Amino acid sequence: MEEGPLWVSEAAGLVSARREMAQWSKSFPDCGGVHQSPIDVETSAVHHDPSLMPVNVVDYHQPGHDPFILSNNGHTVKMSLPAWFQLGGLPWRFTAVQLHFHWGREWDGSGGLAGGSEHTVDGRRSAAELHVVHYNSDLYPNVSVAQSQRDGLVVLGVLIETGDDNNSAYENIFKYLEFIKYAGQQMPIPSFNVRSLLPTDLGRYFRYNGSLTTPPCYQSVLWTVFAEKVTVTRKQLKNLETVLFSNDGKDPKSVPLQDNYRTTQPLNHRVVLASFVPDSITSYTLGKLCAVVVGSLCGLMGLAMVIILLVKAMSSTSSWEALAAVRPAPSRRSKEHDKEQKQDTAFNTDPDPEKPEAPPKVEA
What residue type is 260 in one-letter code? Answer: N
Render pLDDT for 35-85 as a digit per residue (tens, 0 to 9): 999 999 999 999 999 999 999 999 999 999 999 999 999 999 999 999 999
Overall pTM surpassing 0.85 (yes/no): no
- Calculate the CA 223 to chain-centre distance: 6
Residue 75 annotated in active site: yes
What does the DSSP assignment read for 298-339?
HHHHHHHHHHHHHHHHTTTS-HHHHHHHHSPPPPPPPS--PP
Q: Which domains does the chain have, with CATH numbers?
A: 14-277 (3.10.200.10), 281-325 (no CATH)
What is the average pLDDT score of the chain? Answer: 82
Render pLDDT for 75-121 as a digit per residue (tens, 0 to 9): 999 999 999 999 999 999 999 999 999 999 976 555 556 799 999 99
257 touches 78 (CB < 8 A): no
Q: Supply φ then ψ for residue 231, to 5 degrees.
A: -125, 145
C-alpha span between 51 and 344 (Å, rounded): 11
pLDDT of the residue at 21: 80
User: 252: pLDDT confidence band, cut at 50, 70 and 90?
Assistant: confident
C-alpha span between 110 and 172 (Å, rounded): 32
Q: What percent of the chain has pLDDT over 90?
A: 65
Considering 75, 100, 102, 134, which one is annotated as catalytic?
75
Render pLDDT for 332-356 as a digit per residue (tens, 0 to 9): 444 444 444 444 445 666 554 444 4
CA dihedral 139, 143, 149, 155 (to 10 degrees): 100
What residue type is 279 in one-letter code? Answer: D
Distance between start and end Cα atoms, the chain: 24
Enumerate residues 6+ apart whose C-beta is below 8 A from 304.
none
224 pLDDT more than 70: yes
Q: Supply φ then ψ for residue 79, to 5 degrees.
A: -130, 130
Render pLDDT for 4-28 as a digit per residue (tens, 0 to 9): 443 333 334 455 566 678 789 999 9
pLDDT of the residue at 278: 92
57 touches 202 (CB < 8 A): yes
